[in-house]
Amino acid sequence: MFLSANNTGLNAAANAVNSGKTINAPAGIKTTTQAAQEALTAKSDTSSGMGQKDFLTLFTTQLKCQDPLDPVKNEAFVAQLAQFSQLEATTGMADTLKAYVDSMAGERMMSSTSMIGKTVAAPGAPAIISQGGRPAQGFVSLPTGAEGVKLEVFNDKGQLVTSQVMGAQSIGDMPFYWDGTSSTGNKVPDGAYTFKASVTSQGKTTTPVVNVLSTVTGVNQQADKTILLEVAGGKSVKLIDVQRIGS
């Protein structure tokens, strides 16, 4: 019988699969994978990712080419649709979030311009000394206090101008000021001067960053949206690194 012959053929195919043999599809017959791949290739464009149209093409091709003797269950189709919908929603949310972050970066840039002319505590910034100008001021953070602190001042050529050794300091910020007098008692020339601190605490000597009160002269936004404050003396510091803001 026809039915008996088909059963025999199916049984033979099943035996071949169980035995590990490879069964080639008859000539002219495409597998689901081949049909789906050809459909996607025909509709491919310059984009590197799968879009909604590509997914629907793949989905309908899968419906057309499924094995009629073993069709894909409805639950599987629903799961595929749910996964793609979730992915599409996540992608849309990411695009929206990126647009929001970019807009916020522009607002931060504009709000930061209001700091131009103000004084900020800039880590590692130089102090600008000029005749008749204000003395240099700043502070050194001492989270564990100190048994002793040595503060050194260098000119723009890296030459030591003066230094001062201070006694024990309590936990917190140790303020300092320098009126522009060298170790010889003479006024130093106008220019930019940097500070170095050596702190002895709990038996260890460290060189923490010295925060100098500097005037903001400009604002700069990097490609990664980082806001930099340009302070007197040509130093640029990140806005998030500023610990104090004054008038």
Residues 155-196 pLDDT 10s: 999 999 999 999 999 999 999 999 999 999 999 999 999 999
> Can you give the CATH number for the domain in which 230 is found?
2.60.40.4070
Q: 208 lies in a domain? A: yes
**140, exposed or middle or buried, with CB in 10 Å at 0-12, 13-18, 19+?**
buried
Domain membership of residue 129 (yes or no) is: yes
**Nearest CA-CA partner of 210 in 160, 145, 143, 140:** 140
Q: Report how far residue 28's alpha carbon sits from residue 216's, in angstroms, rounded to the nearest whole number.
A: 76
Tell me, yes or no, if the pTM score tops 0.75: no
> Is 144 inside any structural domain?
yes
Q: Which helix (H) or strand (E) holds 192?
A: strand 191-201
Q: Which residue has the higher pLDDT, 9 or 36?
A: 36
Residue 141 lies in a domain: yes
**Structural domain containing residue 130:** 114-246
- Give the DSSP letter string of 132-188: TSPPEEEEEEETT-BSEEEEEEE-TTS-EEEEEEE--B-SEEEEEEE-SB-TTSPBP
Confidence of residue 88 (pLDDT cuts 50, 70, 90): confident
Contact (CB, 8 A) for 52 and 89: no
List, in sequence order, the alpha helices (H) in the chain: 2-18, 32-42, 52-65, 74-112
Q: How far apart are CA 169 and CA 68, in angstroms?
A: 85
Q: Is the residue at 166 inside a domain?
A: yes
Number of domains in the chain: 1
